[in-house]
Amino acid sequence: MTAPIRTLRVTEVTPETDDAVSVTFEASDGDELRHQPGQFLTLRIPAPDGWVARCYSLSSAPGDARPTVTVKRVPGGIASNWICDRLRPGDTVDALAPAGRFTPAVDQRDLLLFAAGSGITPVMSILRARAREGGTAVLVYANRDERSVIFADGLRRLTEAHPDRIRVVHWLETLHGLPDPARLAALAQPWAGADAALLCGPAPYMRAAAEALERLGTPRSRVLTEEYRSLAADPFAALAAAGPEMPAPDEAGAATLTVRLDGERRTLPWPARTTLLDLLRARDLDAPFSCREGACSACACRVVAGEVKMLRNTVLEEEDLAEGYVLACQAVPLSDHVEVVYD
């Protein structure tokens, strides 16, 4: 099992716009930081009265020399301003393993992407991966004005190198006004048949893009969203604390769990009041997680047999639930036997 907390050394801090920087890391333990396009890191950042944990999407693609996150200042925000103002090459930051489900499936060859502001970060990772691996992608990218466009040059280079496969349509509020569903739908109409649509940005933009897709008849099952929010809990503190009690294998009423994770298949007793995540980590299984509060989907896995109950879920949608996805950090057993897989 890899260490749940990795220490990352900052190798570069690159200004992207007046209020956004990219931070490039190398892992201090020398092990490669493997991730999927569109995944995020959870970083531990100093705060005036201790620490906060914040998620930042990787803008680098898997296989790039070094993992990179891109952070935009939020007025009054603790972590984003600390990163933009204080982080320097040579500094170290603690991180949880890359996680998240904002990743198109391998067989989804043609993508329609909607991003606004710092929502470009995971989308850039996906575009970089697409450029390398094949498939097409069209991005509708909204920003306040030209100066606030993160990755303007990088996107231009990608479209110039792959004019037949990658296309970017810029939406500038100073020119076009606020994005609305009707005009977004009209813009995206030629690509409405894409295999998957991915949305990332501030809540009003996500709502407008989601409504545009509804107008275009895109099934919800083909839409992936990534919502940005600050974590309330501190998963680093939870890890540093004693950790969950090792569940007693013979506890009365324990269900049986079969889990497939990292190419391994294990069967374990699953005590009724223990969450799936706590159980797996107590048994040295490297199950991913971030917020532990049912809000980020980093811990999502699929139930393929049996039934579980989620104590809290603010992130999985009806379509995810219909496909059997559950949040391991919130799942407790309902049936005597449960089988779950990590994709």
Selected range binding ligand FES among 8-16, 31-39, 58-66, 292-300, rule: CB under 6 A: 292-300
Q: Which of 53, 296, 308, 332 binds ligand FES (CB under 6 A)?
A: 296
The reply to whether 39 sits near ligand FES by the rule CB under 6 A is: no
Q: Which of 298, 301, 326, 340 binds ligand FES (CB under 6 A)?
A: 298
Selected range binding ligand FAD among 54-62, 125-133, 202-210, 304-312, rule: CB under 6 A: 54-62
The reply to whether 122 sits near ligand FES by the rule CB under 6 A is: no
HEC string for 169-182:
EEEEHHHHCCCCHH
The reply to whether 274 sits near ligand FES by the rule CB under 6 A is: no
The reply to whether 205 sits near ligand FAD by the rule CB under 6 A is: no
Instruction: Indicate the burial class of 173 (C-beta count within 10 angstroms; 0-12, 13-18, 19 or more).
Output: middle
The reply to whether 297 sits near ligand FES by the rule CB under 6 A is: yes
Give the whole-angstrom CA distance, residue 259 versus residue 340.
5
Taking the complex as a whole, the smallest distance from the CB of residue 96 to ligand FES amounts, in Å, to 9
Write the DSSP symbol of residue 3. Answer: -
Longest dimension (CA), the chain: 66
The alpha carbon of 253 is separated from its chain's Cα centroid by a whole number of angstroms, namely: 35
One DSSP character per residue, 237-295 reads HHHHSS-PPPPPTT-TT-EEEEEEETTEEEEEEE-TTS-HHHHHHHTT-----S-SSSS
Which residue, 213 or 296, has its beta carbon nearer to ligand FAD? 296
Taking the complex as a whole, the smallest distance from the CB of residue 119 to ligand FES amounts, in Å, to 19
Q: Which of 8, 21, 33, 79 binds ligand FAD (CB under 6 A)?
A: 79
The reply to whether 295 sits near ligand FES by the rule CB under 6 A is: yes
Check: CB of residue 143 under 8 Å from CB of residue 116.
yes
Residue 197 binds: one of ligand FES, ligand FAD, none (C-beta under 5 to 8 A by kind)? none
Give the whole-angstrom CA distance, residue 68 versus residue 17.
16
Residue 151, helix vs strand vs coil: coil
The reply to whether 56 sits near ligand FAD by the rule CB under 6 A is: yes
Q: Which of 8, 21, 23, 55 binds ligand FAD (CB under 6 A)?
A: 55
The alpha carbon of 45 is separated from its chain's Cα centroid by a whole number of angstroms, namely: 18
Which residues sit at the interface with ligand FES, rule CB under 6 A?
Answer: 289-292, 294-299, 315, 327, 329
Which residues sit at the interface with ligand FAD, rule CB under 6 A?
Answer: 40, 52, 54-57, 69-72, 74-81, 100, 118, 121, 226, 228-230, 296
